[in-house]
């Protein structure tokens, strides 16, 4: 499985909810985890490997989670702006404002409800991955000028690799 890159259409579609956690979903989670580690990412959403399902994996040092149907249930009004990149828009980074603290709810692979409170980088990664399952990319948080510059840099890098 490969990471799909911008402008693939699957990245822009809202992902479908997962109604049953079966062997197929467990295998998908395993493949996503493998792809994320291989790419040295800190998070990955199913649409990033071409699968329109609401499934994410997040790995921050000792904080590893696989969440089915995750959603942001709370977010702080306080925001911080940090450079952000994306495995599906490889190369450029751009400053993105995100809530400093979030509460995320989802289900683990055993069907148990999980509720996580994260701050800082953890909050940023969960917001980024949940954006993916909602068909949104980090470039959508940028001003028109910043998005233009970021996409120009991305296209230039793509051309250099070809």
Backbone angles phi, psi at 31, to 5 degrees: -65, -40
Give the burial class of 57: count Cβ atoms within 10 A of its Cβ; 0-12 exposed, 13-18 middle, 19 or more buried: buried
Name the active-site residue from 80, 129, 144, 159: 129
Structure-block tokens of residue 113: 């409800």
Nearest-CA neighbor of 33 among 129, 100, 124, 105? 129
Question: In the annotation, is 129 catalytic?
Answer: yes
Per the document, the length of the chain is 162
Contact 60, 79 (CB under 8 A): no
d(CA 31, CA 88) in angstroms, rounded, equals 16
Question: Among all residues, which ones are annotated catalytic?
Answer: 129
């Amino acid at each position: 499985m490969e990471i799909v890159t911008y402008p693939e259409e699957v990245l822009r579609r809202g992902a479908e909810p997962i109604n049953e956690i079966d062997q197929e979903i467990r295998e998908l989670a395993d493949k996503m985890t493998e792809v994320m580690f291989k790419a040295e990412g800190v998070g990955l959403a199913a649409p990033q490997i071409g699968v329109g399902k609401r499934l994410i994996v997040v790995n921050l040092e000792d904080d590893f989670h696989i969440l089915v149907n995750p959603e942001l249930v709370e977010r702080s009004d306080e925001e911080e702006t940090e450079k952000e990149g994306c495995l599906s828009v490889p190369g450029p980074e751009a400053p993105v404002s995100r809530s400093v603290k979030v509460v995320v709810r989802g289900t683990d692979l055993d069907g148990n409800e999980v509720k996580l409170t994260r701050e800082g980088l953890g909050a940023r990664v969960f917001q980024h991955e949940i954006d993916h399952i909602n068909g949104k990319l980090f470039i959508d948080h940028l001003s028109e000028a910043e998005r233009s510059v970021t996409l120009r840099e991305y296209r230039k890098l793509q051309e250099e690799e070809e």
